[in-house]
């Protein structure tokens, strides 16, 4: 009698687990996320959330893939291959009109880089010190480089004659090498990528000239977590949960970047821990935890400022402008108290 009873209970429990499994899976929303770049230090902002279960706490099953630039991420998301990406606003402006289906166009919902990391790098031996010194020189970068795309705005804001500047294109892996070898006079890139990569290729930091756009009359918002309007409409709670998990992850990584790098190394064992830790700290100190963020909180934007950036960038690129309301939706941000730093 007791044995039969126990058997019935065990059988019922097992059935409940089996029957309940699909229901539990149904409550978990899968999100295919593609980074804007390689598995390097800055990826810790997302890997921490994945490894610590912050996404799971929000009912999300997030897969994170390596990227090859903001434009590629946005295009692959628009094609339906991914649900979300990490992209800069200028790329979103540029690609907005080329994506025919409005529901597939990119919309930011949580800003990661409050300041844009676009930078021009040169070696001191070239005697380039100011933006005006770039006239008559050869600059290099991949054609899809975010800083290169923003260069027309940088040039306009610093009264440069672009007819006197020549660009040459190369693979990303050759960019810093060509500068160190003197094959180009300057390169464009993101501050934290270019600086660390130049050092890794043997350049002494004191010999590197770095002209950040933000410090030369061209302040811009940088990257944001991005999805499509279709995903916002169909899965708003998933977007809200992703933003909440990312917000907590950024705070944790800022407090303990070493742990963040450990999670990057878990995904990419060949990284140089020390260099990637420095790259991550450069990102946090200069582009994530900025004075503006410390005053107003993580994740959000000033819509007037974003609108001006979109208009100015479109004018410099000679493309159709995009209203800020089509580039960013603040409705999915965590509460102000959660975003405070």
Q: What pTM was computed for the model?
A: 0.90
Using CA atoms of 220, 225, 227, 229 in order, give the dihedral in degrees to the nearest 10: -50
pLDDT at 97: 81
Q: What is the end-to-end Cα distance of the chain in Å, rounded?
A: 62
Contacts of 142 by beta carbon, 8 Å cutoff, 6+ apart: 69, 148, 169, 170, 171, 172, 175
pLDDT at 288: 98
The answer to whether residue 284 scores a pLDDT higher than 70 is: yes
Q: What does the pLDDT look like over 84-135, one tens digit per residue?
A: 999 999 999 999 988 989 999 999 999 999 999 999 999 999 999 999 999 9
Beta bridge partners of 60: 29
Contacts of 90 by beta carbon, 8 Å cutoff, 6+ apart: 116, 146, 149, 150, 220, 309, 313
Nearest to 245 by CA among 53, 86, 30, 73: 53
Here the tokens at position 308 are 């001006």
Contacts of 187 by beta carbon, 8 Å cutoff, 6+ apart: 120, 121, 122, 139, 140, 141, 175, 176, 178, 179, 194
The answer to whether residue 10 scores a pLDDT higher than 80 is: no
Distance CA 45, CA 190 (A): 17
Binning pLDDT at 50, 70 and 90, where does residue 26 land? low
Mean pLDDT of 168-186: 97
The CA–CA distances, whole Å, from 58 to 30, 107, 239, 300, 339 equal 11, 21, 10, 20, 17
Distance CA 127, CA 155 (A): 19
Beta bridge partners of 209: 122
Mean pLDDT of 66-79: 96
The CA–CA distances, whole Å, from 111 to 243, 272, 324 equal 9, 27, 13
Q: What share of the chain is helix, strand, coil (3-state, %, to 5)?
A: 55, 15, 30
Distance CA 272, CA 288 (A): 22
Here the tokens at position 161 are 């004659």
Distance CA 27, CA 218 (A): 44
Residue recorded with tokens 């979109």: 310
pLDDT at 17: 38
Nearest to 90 by CA among 324, 331, 330, 329: 324
pLDDT at 19: 38
Binning pLDDT at 50, 70 and 90, where does residue 27 land? confident
Least confident stretch, 109-118, 156-165, 238-247, 313-322: 313-322
Instruction: Reduce the secondary structure of 181-207 to three states and give it as a string.
Output: CCCCCEEEEEHHHHHHHHHHCCCCHHH
Q: Kindly list the structural domains of the chain, giving each domain's residue range(s) and its CATH number in brackets, ordered by start.
A: 30-115+221-339 (3.40.190.10), 118-215 (3.40.190.10)
State phi, psi for 331 to the nearest 5 degrees. -65, -15
């Amino acid at each position: 009698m007791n044995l039969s009873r126990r058997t019935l209970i065990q059988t019922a429990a097992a059935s409940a687990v089996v029957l309940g499994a699909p229901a539990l899976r149904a409550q978990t929303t899968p999100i295919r996320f593609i980074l804007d770049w390689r598995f390097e230090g800055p990826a810790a902002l997302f890997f921490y959330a994945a490894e610590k279960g912050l996404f799971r706490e929000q009912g999300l099953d997030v897969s994170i893939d390596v990227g090859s630039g903001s434009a590629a991420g946005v295009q692959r998301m628009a094609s339906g291959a991914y649900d979300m990406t990490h992209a800069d606003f200028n790329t979103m402006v540029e690609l907005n009109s080329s994506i025919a289906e409005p529901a597939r166009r990119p919309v930011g919902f949580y800003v990661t880089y409050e300041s844009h990391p676009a930078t021009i790098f040169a070696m001191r031996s070239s005697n380039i010190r100011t933006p005006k010194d770039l006239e008559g020189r050869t600059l290099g970068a991949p054609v899809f480089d975010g800083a290169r795309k923003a260069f027309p705005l940088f040039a306009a804001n610093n009264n440069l004659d672009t007819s006197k500047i020549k660009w040459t294109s190369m693979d990303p892996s050759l960019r810093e090498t060509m500068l160190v070898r003197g094959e180009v006079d300057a390169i464009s890139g993101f501050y934290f990528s270019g600086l660390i990569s130049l050092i890794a290729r043997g350049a002494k930091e004191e010999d590197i000239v770095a002209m950040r756009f933000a410090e030369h009359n061209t302040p811009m918002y940088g990257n944001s977590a991005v999805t499509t309007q279709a995903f916002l409409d169909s899965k708003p709670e998933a977007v809200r949960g992703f933003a909440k998990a990312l917000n907590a992850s950024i705070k944790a990584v800022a407090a303990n970047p070493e742990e963040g790098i450990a999670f990057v190394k878990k995904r990419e064992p060949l990284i140089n821990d020390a260099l990637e830790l420095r790259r991550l700290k450069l990102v946090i100190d200069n582009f994530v935890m900025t004075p503006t963020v410390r005053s107003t909180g993580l994740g959000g934007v000033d819509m007037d400022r974003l609108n001006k950036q979109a208009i100015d960038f479109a004018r410099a690129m000679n493309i159709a402008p995009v209203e800020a309301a089509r580039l960013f939706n603040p409705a999915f941000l965590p509460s102000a108290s959660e975003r405070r730093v």
